[in-house]
Amino acid sequence: MSRNPRLGIVAAVGLLGLVSTVACTPGAENSAPSSQATPSSVQTDAAKLGDVNLVVWDQEVRGGQAAQMKQLNDAFQAKYPNIKLKRVSRSFDDLKTTLRLALSGNEPPDVVQANNGRSDMGAFVKANQLVPLDPYAKAYNWDQRYPQSVRQYSQYTPDGKTFGQGNLYGMPQVGEVVGIFYSKKKLAEAGVQQPKTWDEFQSSLATLKAKGDAPLVLGNLEKWPAIHVFGTVQGRTTPADTIKQLGFGRKGASWTTDENKKAAQTLTDWVGKGYFNAGFNGQDYDPAWQAFSKGKGTYLIGGTWLAEDLGKAMGDDVGFMLPPGTAADAAPIATGGTGLPFSITTKSKNPDAAAAYLNFITSADAMNILTKTGNLPVADTAKQEVSGSLQKDVFAAFGKVVEADGLVPYLDYATPTMPDTIGAALQDLLGGKATPDQFAERLEKDYGAFSQANG
C-alpha cells in the first residue's frame, strides 16, 4: 500500500457476514466457470454449495501465523461443514518453489497464497492461472473492506504488465512493515538509549561494536533477507517516491543515482566495520532471528511477521521501532505493504466456495483473531485491542508509517527477474565481490530494460 493508505487501512471497515444470496444451482464441483462469474451469479451462501473439497496452499507456518490460520479454518469448517478444507502449509521459500509447477498442472490447489510481485503473481496473471476477483469483490463488498491503497498490491492488468492497476487477484490478511527489533537489555548494558535519528542509530552500532558485540544480526543465505536491510538504509538516502517507482517497476527512476549508491556504500561500510554477525551470507534466515531471540546481537532488521515469535522468546526485552529518520521529527519511511494475498486458481472447480473462504478469513472477525494471535491485521487496525509492549510497538509503528504514507514496496516486486537480480547483487555487495557502483549498475540493467518496455 503505497498511496494514501491513511484513508484506507486505519479506517477500513471490515465486513463479516454474508451478502444477499443470489440464486445459483447448488451442488458440489459445479460452480460457474470463473471467467463467466458476475456479481449476480456468485453464490455467497456457502452452505448452499453442496459438498465441496477445497485445497488451500498457504505459507502461514510460524507461531502466530499458524495459530490464526488454524483457528480460522476450524471456524470455517464449523460454519460450513459441507466444505472440507485440505490445507497444505509450506514455508515461504518452499511455496515459492513449488507453486509455479503446481499452477501449470492439471489439478492445482483451489486457493493459494502468491507473492504480490511480478515474478509470481504477475507471471501467474499473464499465464491466466489466477481468477480475477472483481465479481466476487462486488458480491461481497470487498471494496468496502479494503481500500484501493490495499487492493493495488494485488492488482494487475490482464496481460500482467502493469502492477497496481487493473483486476483484483488476491486478498491479504495482514499488513507488514520492516523495522528494527532491538534488545532493551543489551542497549541498557551498553549505556545506549533507543536511537531517535539515523545518526544516533549508526553511532549506537559503533558503541556496541566497541564493546565487543556484532550489533546487527542477519541470516542471508536465502538472499532475500538482505533486501529488507538494504531497503531500510535506502529509505534514509532516497526519496520515497523514487523507491516506489523502482519497487513497482515503473519507468522514470534510476538505480544509478548518488542516493542509491550511498545506501549501498553504507552496507559496505557496515560489513567493513564488523557490524554484522560472522558468516551472515551463509546463514539461514530462521536460525539467525532465533539466535537474536537468544541473546545474539542487539538489533535485527526484519518484518513484523517475526513479532509473535520474538515476543514469546524474549518477553519484555524485545522492542520494535521504525527505522529512524535523519531528524527525530522526519516523516517515517519503511519497506512494507500487505502480506501474501490469497488467490483463486483458474482451474479451481469451486471458485464460489474458494471466494467464500477468502471472504471468511479476511472478515472483521478474522481481523480480531489475527490480533489475538499476535499478527498485524491489514484492516480495522485502529479498532483492535492490543496487549504487551511489543505488540503495542508494532501496531503504533504500522499506524504511524501508514498515516504518513511512508510505506514503500519491496524492491524485488519490480521485475520478473528482480528477486534473483537484487538477491545476488546484495550477496556480492555484502561479500565484498561488488562495489556500490557495480551493484547499482546491475540493478539498473534489470530495472531499466523492463520498465522501458512495461512501465
User: What does each of the 455 residues of the chain score in pLDDT, given as a tens digit?
Assistant: 332 332 233 333 232 222 222 223 233 333 334 456 777 788 999 999 999 999 999 999 888 889 999 999 999 999 999 999 999 998 888 888 899 999 999 899 999 999 998 889 999 999 999 999 999 999 999 988 887 778 888 999 999 988 888 999 999 999 999 999 999 999 999 999 999 999 999 999 999 999 998 999 999 999 999 999 999 999 999 999 999 899 989 889 999 999 999 999 999 999 999 999 999 999 999 999 999 999 999 999 999 989 989 999 999 999 999 999 999 999 999 999 899 999 999 999 999 999 999 999 999 999 999 999 989 999 888 788 888 899 999 999 988 888 888 889 999 989 989 999 999 999 999 999 999 999 999 999 999 999 988 75
- Global confidence as pTM: 0.77
Q: Which of 363, 360, 350 is nearest to 131 (CA)?
A: 350
Q: What is the reported pLDDT for 455?
A: 55
Q: What is the reported pLDDT for 262?
A: 98
Q: What is the reported pLDDT for 33?
A: 40
- The CB-side HSE value for 387 (13 A sphere, CA atoms) comes to 4
Sign of CA dihedral 106, 97, 307, 234: negative
Element (H, E) at 176: strand 175-183
- The Cα 243–Cα 411 span in angstroms is 8
Q: What is the reported pLDDT for 17?
A: 29
> Residue 414 is placed in which grid cell?
519490480
- 412 backbone dihedrals φ, ψ, rounded to 5°: -80, -5
Burial of 107 (0-12, 13-18, 19+ CB in 10 A): exposed
Domains of the chain: 46-175+339-391 (3.40.190.10), 176-337+393-454 (3.40.190.10)
- The Cα 141–Cα 228 span in angstroms is 34
- Find all residues with CB under 8 Å of 4, minimum gap 6, and list them: 149, 405
Tell me which residue has cell 524485488: 412
Per the document, the length of the chain is 455
Cα of 155 vs its chain's centroid, Å: 15
